[in-house]
Structures are given as structure tokens and as C-alpha cells.
Amino acid sequence: MTQLSSTTTLPPATGFASLGLAAPLLRALAAEGYLEPTPIQAQAIPVLLEGRDLLGCAQTGTGKTAAFALPILQRLSQPRPEASRAKRRPIRALVLAPTRELASQINDSFAAYGRHAGLVTSVVFGGVGQGPQVRQLQRGSDILVATPGRLLDLIGQGHVHLEQVEVFVLDEADRMLDMGFVRDVRKVVALLPARRQTLLFSATMPRDIEALAASILNAPARIAVAPVATTAEKIAQSVYFVGRGDKGALFRHLLRNPELSRVLAFTRTKHGANKLALQLEKDGTPAEAIHGNKSQSAREKALASFKSGSVRVLVATDIAARGIDVDGVTHVVNFDLPNVPESYVHRIGRTARAGAEGIAISFCDAEERPFLADIERTIRLAVPVVADHPFSRAAASSRPPMPPQRPTGPAANGNGHGNSNGYGNSQGRGREGVRNGEGRAPAKRRHTRRSGRSLSA
């Protein structure tokens, strides 16, 4: 019985504990429901706790945020002797991310993993007023997550000082370069102390990333993990090309199949979610919408009905879906495709939970074709097309002309959607993170080749 008493008196020896993480972080991970480290966490955390630089080839979805956030939180939890004399907390860790969505997510992750660490995290990004961000900075912050343009603006105005930065993370470096941020990144790096720990993460490692890495990293450990596609591959995905006006009819058609018994459907807008839920109800399918305009109690009620099975279709927006954790979702239906590829991965990950197989169906109208291309590049899969459905022809005839093909060469000006918002290669400020689908236009494409189901980088 010795064994039993030792397991009951000691904290659970999770895989995370064996990596050398401190108790406050382990408690936060337990609260998050993380049982075992993902491969990148298992490899990166010990190396980072030693203080080494890191070059990580990993995508969103692999658990890379915790892989860098946990060692940073652990390092920063150890107070520095001079810290007590400082007027306000100096920024000791800086994380640069290309988009505001990613920056916010990283900030949320730091807050979640660091909930018992007593550290302050802030996030700054363009496209919104800077007042609240400045006020937050004035209160002092140990960790700052930022997009490059807004960060440089705030540095220029004297709101941010980087002299005390000990750890610098460059996340999604390849996208940062794609979006034309390389000069901004280099300007930021030039302001950092030479003595620091530096981490660079990138989904792909083309030569320009290797060159950037060589110039900012010092004898880095190199870690590469399988792309998120390995997760996405577990889910049976398909796409239906359909005219926008036929999406509702196509959904009704699919719902005739009783196998779609617990369906999580996604729309891009709150209005779209309401409209779809109402229409489904009218057609006799129990449905509820869940989004930011609904009160907390209305959301909880909808979720409970979905969990109990009395609601067959829950229609959600991406934001509202964040907190949804329902087992046994038989199908995820992307009624609208997301304009942020990572949202697709998060959405479809809500089926096939806990190793179960899942099914994800996407509707794609003509205007959403570029989103699909972005998604396929991110998941490195060509999503199989179901052409044999009653609205396929209607979709073809009602479809407006296809948008121009996006440029593929280095000469591309980053405006591949044929829009004119000047977002691509523009050096203007406030453009970052404005990934509204019109705006997202990499300056240079990553070259992936379609070879059957799997796209290899």
C-alpha cells in the first residue's frame, strides 16, 4: 500500500512535472485540463528552462504557445534583486506575433497558464485605439505580446521600453515575413539587449527565415514537430461548393441524414447565426444560436440543451465557440468558411474529441474560395470536394466570376484578392491583424504542392 499512499500525498506526477515546471504552473495546467505535454512542449520546455535559444518549426495547433509561455512564466516568477527598486514592472519578456488574433490568443494563454504566477501580461496590436493599451502599459507589465507596427508606434511615443527584456519570442516568423513585417521586426530586435534568450517559431523554414534566425539566435536548439495536419487528418473533411443563397437548402438536405445528430454549425456573423437557427427551427430542426450578443444565461441554456440532445444544431460564431466543450459532436458544419485559417482548425477540432473520429463539412461559395485556399495551405491538406449534391449545379450557375488567382511569385504585391486596401506590402501602420479576408494577402506565397490528399511543405 506504500504506492497508494505515495500517490495520494504527492502532487500528480504528470508529464509536465517531469519537465521541471514549478507547482503554480502545474496547477494552472491541471485547471486547463492538460494531462500530458504535446511533443513540442516535451522537447522545448527543458531546453528553454536551461536558458537556451530555440528555433522551432511548428504550427499553431501543436501546443507551441504553452511550449514557450511556460518556461517564460517560470523564469519570470523568479524575482530579480533590483526589481523591487523599479518604479514599475519592466517588460522582461516580449512576444511578437503577426496578427491581432494570434497576439490576443497568446496573451490569453499567458494569463491562463500564469494565473498563479503573480505576473502581469499585456497585449498591444493595431487597428484599435491605443488609449487602453497605453494605460495598461503605464501600470507596468512583465510580459508584453505585440504586433510589430503598433509596438513600434508605442516605442516611438515612449510608452514601451525594451531595455530590460530577457526573453524575446518571434512567433509565426514565416507569416511575419509574408506580411511584409521583416523591417519592423528587425527594428524591434535592434532595440533589445544583446544578452537575452531568443525563440523563433515558424511553420515553414524557407531560406529567408533561416537567415533571419541566424541573425537573431545564438546557438539555438532546433526542434521540429509534425504539423497540425496530423490532427486535422483524423477528421473526415469535405467541402461543398454552393451558391450563397443555396447554403440553407443544402444544410436542410444534409440534415435529412439522422447521423447528423449533434451538429455544431459555424457562421461568420452573429446575425448569420440567428438567421440560420431561426430558419432551422422553422423547418422543424431544434436549433439554437450562441454568440456574443446573447446573455450569459441564454448561452448557458443553449449549451445545456445542446449537451442534453434536445437541440440538434447549435449555431455559433468563432468567438462564442471558444468556451464550448461538448463531447460527442458528430459533425462540425462550416456554414460560412472562416477567413482566419486557424479558426478552421479550431472549429473542426470540436468534433473528434478525445481521439474519436469526427466529421467536418464546409460550405464554400465563390467569395470564400480564397479562404479555402488559405485553409488548405495551413492544414496542408486538399479538402476533398463533394460535387454530387443537388445544389452543385445551381451553385455553378449562380456563382459570380471567380476572383483573380492570387499571385505566386516574389513580385506579387500582396494584394492577391484583387482588392485595393493596400494591406499587402504597405509599410503603413495599423494594418496588422486586420485579417478580415479582404485584407489578408501574403506578400509572398509559401509554395506548397498539391499531391493528392496531403500537401507537404
- 200 or 443: CB nearest ligand AMP: 200
Q: 264: part of which helix (H) or strand (E)?
A: strand 263-266
- 112 or 236: CB nearest ligand AMP: 112
What residues contact 81, with CB distance under 8 A and at least 6 apart? none
- 139 or 322: CB nearest ligand AMP: 322
How far apart are the C-alpha atoms of 433 and 173, rounded to whole Å? 14
How far apart are the C-alpha atoms of 16 and 22, rounded to whole Å? 9
Q: What are phi and psi of 426, to 5 degrees?
A: -60, 140
Q: Residue with the closest Cβ to ligand AMP? A: 65
Binding mask 368-387 for ligand AMP (x = CB under 6 A): --------------------
Q: How many residues bind ligand AMP (CB under 6 A)?
A: 12
Q: 11 and 26 in contact (C-beta within 8 Å)?
A: yes
- 113 or 306: CB nearest ligand AMP: 113
How far apart are the C-alpha atoms of 395 and 155, rounded to whole Å? 50
- 36 or 208: CB nearest ligand AMP: 36
Q: 414 and 424 in contact (C-beta within 8 Å)?
A: yes
Among candidates 232, 313, 231, which has minimal Cα distance to 267? 313
How deeply is 321 buried, as exposed, middle or buried, from its count of CB atoms within 10 A (0-12, 13-18, 19+)?
buried
Question: Looking at 31-39, 201-209, 255-263, 362-370, which segment touches ligand AMP (CB under 6 A)?
Answer: 31-39
Q: Please state the closest distance from residue 125 (CB atom) to ligand AMP, in A.
A: 17
Residue 283 Cα distances to 106, 128, 240, 263, angstroms: 41, 41, 21, 16
Specify which residues 54 forms β-bridges with: 199, 221
Question: Looking at 29-37, 118-126, 352-360, 364-372, which segment touches ligand AMP (CB under 6 A)?
Answer: 29-37
Question: Looking at 35-43, 76-84, 148-156, 326-334, which segment touches ligand AMP (CB under 6 A)?
Answer: 35-43
- 40 or 239: CB nearest ligand AMP: 40
- 326 or 412: CB nearest ligand AMP: 326
How far apart are the C-alpha atoms of 144 and 167, rounded to whole Å? 11
What residues contact 387, with CB distance under 8 A and at least 6 apart? 241
Q: Please state the closest distance from residue 61 (CB atom) to ligand AMP, in A.
A: 5
Q: 94 and 162 in contact (C-beta within 8 Å)?
A: yes
Binding mask 63-102 for ligand AMP (x = CB under 6 A): xxxx------------------------------------
Binding mask 37-66 for ligand AMP (x = CB under 6 A): xx--x------------------xxxxxxx
Q: Please state the closest distance from residue 144 (CB atom) to ligand AMP, in A.
A: 18
Residue type for 128, please? Answer: V
Question: Looking at 30-38, 209-217, 299-307, 431-439, which segment touches ligand AMP (CB under 6 A)?
Answer: 30-38
**Which positions touch ligand AMP (CB under 6 A)?**
34, 36-38, 41, 60-66
